[in-house]
Amino acid sequence: MNTISAIHSRGIRFLLAVVIAVSIALAVTPAQACACGIYVPLDGEASVTEELVLIRWDGQTEDIVMTLGVLGSSSEAAVVFPVPARAEVQLADAEIFDALQELTKPIIEKQIALFPMVGGTDGAPGGAAVTLLERQTLGPFDVSTLAATDADALGNWLAENGYNLAPEVAAALEPYVQQNWYYVAVRLSPGAGSDELTGELDPLWITFDYDKIVYPMRLSALARDSLTVFMYVLADHRVQKPMSFGYENVQYADWVDPASLASDSPLASFVTKKMFLTKIVEQIYQPETITDDYVFEFAASDETYHIVRYEYVYGVAGIPFSILIPCGLILLLVIGGAWAVGRFKKK
């Protein structure tokens, strides 16, 4: 894989595809959908509570880094990612989303306030209905890259290889098969030193060529609970997402220059030139309303935006109480001392 030709650049060729986390089970376990699809544990009780995604697009190649936050625990599970073109998969730096959170954190401004203060498109190859293109082990992941021309055959292959798909999940794959997408099937098992899948899973890094940025969302309609999706998009310009199925807001929009990053920053390999970073957070309360994938487009302008949080310092006439009170006490002591000395002299 060429270092990273794209993880969220807005020339936007993306069509990522993170979609459908499914069970690997011997016994059917209820599925939990995330923005990327459905997460199904082999045993135990676990569900995806949030999804963190970084997308970089350079005009022809898209990179997607994704991690899932798992509530509860299980000993094994599976995930399937539909992608629009044949993809390469590797592990990403586990600290990458910490670095993104730090980069996009709100600006804190202090203000003096009177007291009190109220408020504040390559097609899959022909031939066999399902073709195993590659299989590799990446940390706790067993990753298979597949091509399929028949949804039923794809469902059968997944079932035969330990992925226990519910009928509605297999049916939801049909539109992607018709569009000749590829599939990254991931079996997850705990990493060394742990016997449970819980918390934040290691991020996967998927790279493929495409002429637009698309984020697969259709399988998320199977989710039973609300979803929160954090999307970071690196592109040549600010991006926007015309379609939304919930409450969303832009929490950050600004340029990122390679010179501003430390050489050992997890973002250094993604920001090889000056790029625009857009952070969009979406809260989806009714997943069943999801009917299509997200297609990102460039915004009308590269207007920058930062969340500003105000910390109010209470005071009077622009002077905070933290200064007024001690100064006032000192002044009272001086006046009191002068008065006492004056009284003493009169005597």
Walk along the chain (347 residues) and give the pLDDT tens digit of each residue: 444 444 333 333 333 333 323 222 222 333 444 444 444 444 444 344 467 899 999 999 999 998 865 433 445 566 788 889 999 999 999 899 999 999 999 888 765 555 544 444 555 555 679 999 999 988 778 889 999 998 888 888 888 887 766 677 777 888 899 999 999 888 776 554 445 544 456 788 999 999 999 888 887 787 777 888 899 999 999 999 887 777 888 999 999 999 999 989 999 999 999 999 999 998 888 888 888 888 899 999 999 999 988 766 555 555 555 565 666 667 667 676 666 666 666 66
pLDDT at site 167:
72
pLDDT at site 218:
82
- Report whether CATH 2.60.250 matches the domain 32-306: yes
pLDDT at site 90:
92
Secondary structure tally for the chain: helices H, strands E: 5, 22
Residue 17's closest CA among 212, 167, 190? 212
pLDDT at site 20:
29
Q: Is 119 left (phi over 0), alpha (psi -120 to 50) or beta?
A: left
pLDDT at site 233:
97
pTM of the model: 0.73
Secondary-structure breakdown of the chain: helix, strand, coil percentages, each rounded to the nearest 5: 20, 40, 40
pLDDT at site 336:
64
pLDDT at site 70:
44
